[in-house]
């Protein structure tokens, strides 16, 4: 069901002369930008603002660059370069996902994780099953499960005679967001209706006199419950650094001894989210004297008395964190929840992304949106710079997106953050190997605002990424650095040319 954050509240204009919402329907005019004739010079453009094509040519970027800048209010495209070319938006996709989730769920929506008693309680004994019911909360962490365990004890439960079950069926499940990423990429975990610690498990190793000691746990700042669902074995080799396989419902990892050094730690993706959350909760419950059987995953939504529940922060705060830290799992979970609220019944991330594409075409004037997920991790996703810039110009009119976008620091000639830079930028970045994106807003010193989208991609270089080369491919860091420099130069040009 669509929440109170209504279409009218989302789309209403602050400028009465515009009449109906420019977001509610696709624009009646063409979305293609109207460019200045080639070769025409504008006297108002000072020498300090090099031409758009010159900046792009001198950037040294291989592949393609697509960009557009639009005026706030009426959304007129002021300038563009290959803006009708669809390119991978990477994590800039999350800006669109945020609007999608806000529209269908509402900014005050909260996700619920609960403990459900399937059976009767008598004298502190639950004669039946206890179910940990996931509600699609992407922010659930070990501290949250500890709160649930504490509430369960306060409710008087001290024993459970039946099974301990975990249900994650509130959202469709998948073992990975994107199949092309390395197995050990913590940003590419499983997706389910229950997600603990962003579906990541903490791997730590220390070298002692008798070799290495390793641990796998679901730690927080207060707790360190070890888990059995993810296991690590040290292998005598140098490469590959990690190997992974799923066997008997557990994640089995090996790590190369030659890569460990004296000690260290990292978060690894979790592929069995229900059992992971169940094992951590079982340990926390035991600390309160409540003994539970080993957790099992259930496919059936539990019906019974709710003994404890935990609310997530409000969606607006979740999205602000998602846009700041670019958490892929958050994007996928809130995106699929929004698709369900829209009335779709997606059975996969890709199906849910298709529902978001349809909404973008219907409501935002983005008929060419072709996303395969909600996070931008999948390189097959494509967006057009002109459509993105126009959408942002419209959304910015309603002050929906800009307040939750990250402040982007501009730099001086030496590459250091320039805190006194006259232009203020709020935007969403996007980075894959040989893909770089930036989309958002720039405010000029006189208070004018512009919306922009910049996409750059070298698909040929991406196509050559195979095996171990996918993690740190040669040339990717240089490409990304050049892309960021170009982004700043384009923003500075637009601020100079269109900011007064």
**Model pLDDT for residues 263-309, shown as the tens digit of each residue:** 999 999 999 999 999 999 999 999 999 999 999 999 999 999 999 99
Kindly indicate the confidence band of residue 398, based on its pLDDT and cuts at 50, 70 and 90: low
Cα–Cα distance between 342 and 177 in angstroms, integer?
A: 21
Phi first, then psi, for residue 298 (nearest 5°) are: -120, 145
Structural tokens at position 8: 């009218």
Enumerate the H helices of 12-135 as residue ranges: 52-58, 93-105
What is the share, in percent, of the chain residues with pLDDT greater than 90? 82
Kindly indicate the confidence band of residue 470, based on its pLDDT and cuts at 50, 70 and 90: low
Other Cβ atoms less than 10 A from the Cβ of 185: the count is 18
Three-state DSSP class for 184? coil
pLDDT of residue 397: 55
Cα–Cα distance between 384 and 255 in angstroms, integer?
A: 41
Cα–Cα distance between 114 and 381 in angstroms, integer?
A: 35
Write down the pTM of the prediction: 0.89
**Model pLDDT for residues 150-165, shown as the tens digit of each residue:** 999 999 999 999 999 9
Decide if 105 contacts 319 (C-beta within 8 A).
Answer: no
Whether the link from the prior residue into 240 is cis, omega within 30° of 0, is yes
pLDDT of residue 73: 78
Q: What is the dihedral of CA 242, 271, 369, 440, to 10 degrees?
A: -70
Catalogue all structural domains in the chain, each as residue range(s) with its CATH number.
7-107+315-498 (3.40.710.10), 111-312 (3.50.80.20)
Among 29-38, 84-93, 141-150, name the one with the lowest average pLDDT.
29-38
E-strand ranges in 387-434 read: 406-408, 424-432
**Model pLDDT for residues 23-81, shown as the tens digit of each residue:** 233 333 333 333 333 333 333 334 468 999 999 999 999 999 999 999 987 778 999 99
Three-state SS string over 188-220 comes to CCCECCCCCHHHEEEEEEEEECCEEEEEEECCC
Report how far apart the first and last C-alpha atoms of the chain are (Å, whole number). 45
What residues contact 238, with CB distance under 8 A and at least 6 apart? 256, 258, 259
What is the mean pLDDT of the segment spanning 204-220?
A: 95
Tell me: pLDDT of 485 over 50.
Answer: yes
Beta bridge partners of 306: 116
Structural tokens at position 137: 């909360």
**Model pLDDT for residues 424-441, shown as the tens digit of each residue:** 999 999 999 999 999 999
Beta bridge partners of 64: 457
């Amino acid at each position: 069901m669509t929440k109170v954050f209504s279409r009218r509240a989302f789309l209403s204009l602050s400028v009465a002369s515009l009449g109906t919402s420019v977001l509610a329907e696709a624009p009646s005019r063409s979305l293609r930008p109207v460019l200045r004739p080639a070769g025409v010079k504008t006297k108002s453009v000072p020498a300090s603002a090099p031409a758009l094509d010159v900046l792009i040519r001198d950037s040294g970027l291989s592949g393609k660059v697509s960009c557009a800048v639009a005026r706030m209010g009426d959304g007129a495209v002021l300038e563009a370069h290959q803006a009708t070319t669809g390119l991978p938006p990477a994590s800039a996709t999350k800006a669109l996902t945020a609007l999608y989730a806000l529209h269908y769920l509402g900014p005050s929506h909260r996700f619920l994780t609960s403990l459900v008693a399937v059976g009767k309680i008598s004298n502190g004994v639950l004669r039946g099953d206890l179910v940990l019911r996931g509600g699609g909360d992407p922010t659930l962490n070990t501290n949250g499960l500890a709160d649930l365990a504490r509430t369960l004890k306060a409710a008087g439960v001290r024993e459970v005679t039946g099974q301990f079950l975990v249900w994650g069926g509130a959202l469709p499940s998948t073992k990975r967001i994107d199949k092309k990423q390395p197995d050990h990429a913590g940003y590419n975990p499983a997706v389910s209706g229950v997600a603990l610690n962003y579906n990541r498990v903490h791997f730590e190793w220390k070298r002692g006199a008798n070799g290495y000691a390793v641990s796998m746990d679901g730690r927080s700042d207060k707790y360190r419950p070890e888990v059995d669902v993810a296991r690590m074995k040290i292998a005598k080799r140098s490469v590959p650094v990690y190997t992974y396989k799923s066997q008997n419902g557990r994640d089995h990892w090996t790590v190369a001894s030659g890569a460990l050094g004296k000690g260290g730690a990292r978060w690894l993706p979790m592929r069995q989210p229900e059992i992971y959350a169940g094992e951590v909760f079982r340990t926390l419950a035991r600390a309160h004297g409540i003994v539970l059987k080993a957790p099992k995953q259930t496919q059936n939504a539990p019906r019974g008395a709710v003994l404890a529940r935990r609310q997530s922060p409000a969606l607006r705060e979740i999205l602000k964190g998602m846009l700041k830290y670019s958490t892929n799992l958050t994007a996928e979970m809130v995106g699929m929840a929004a698709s369900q609220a829209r009335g779709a019944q997606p059975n996969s991330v890709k199906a849910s992304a298709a529902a978001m594409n349809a909404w973008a075409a219907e409501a935002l004037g983005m008929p060419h949106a072709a996303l395969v997920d909600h996070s931008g991790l999948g390189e097959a996703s494509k967006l057009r710079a002109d459509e993105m810039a126009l959408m942002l110009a419209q959304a910015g009119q309603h002050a929906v997106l800009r307040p939750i976008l990250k402040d982007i620091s501009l730099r001086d000639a030496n590459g250091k953050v320039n805190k006194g830079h006259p232009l203020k930028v709020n935007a969403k970045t996007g980075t894959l190997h040989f893909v770089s994106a930036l989309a958002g807003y720039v405010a000029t010193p006189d208070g004018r605002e512009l919306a922009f989208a910049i996409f750059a991609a070298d698909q040929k270089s991406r196509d050559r990424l195979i095996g171990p080369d996918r993690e740190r491919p040669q040339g990717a860091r240089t490409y990304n650095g050049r892309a960021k420099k170009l982004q700043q130069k384009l923003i500075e040009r637009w601020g100079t040319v269109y900011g007064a």
